[in-house]
Amino acid sequence: MRVGISGTAHVELAAIQRFDLGILICKSCNEVITTLPTDRHVKFYGLCKDMTCIEKNKEANQ
């Protein structure tokens, strides 16, 4: 017998859904890099793999 969250054996774990409400955006070109499973709408900033963005970030950090 499977025991789910809070001891509810009748709930299958597959029925618990997570939504990709988080978004990872390139801080240089503003392109969406990926989405992330979060419990609320959240924006994260990082760098994409584009060489232009990487070089621009290196110049800004010097």
Residue with tokens 């955006």: 25
Residues 6+ apart with CB under 8 A from 32: 23, 24, 25, 26
Q: What is the pLDDT of residue 3?
A: 44
Query: What is the domain partition of the chain in residue ranges?
Result: 18-60
- Write the pLDDT tens digit of every residue in 26-48: 999 999 999 999 888 999 999 99
For 48, the token pair is 């994409």
Tell me if the pTM is above 0.75: no
Residues 6+ apart with CB under 8 A from 10: 4
Contact 31, 48 (CB under 8 A): yes
Separation in Å, CA 24 to CA 8, 15, 36, 60, 61: 34, 26, 7, 20, 21
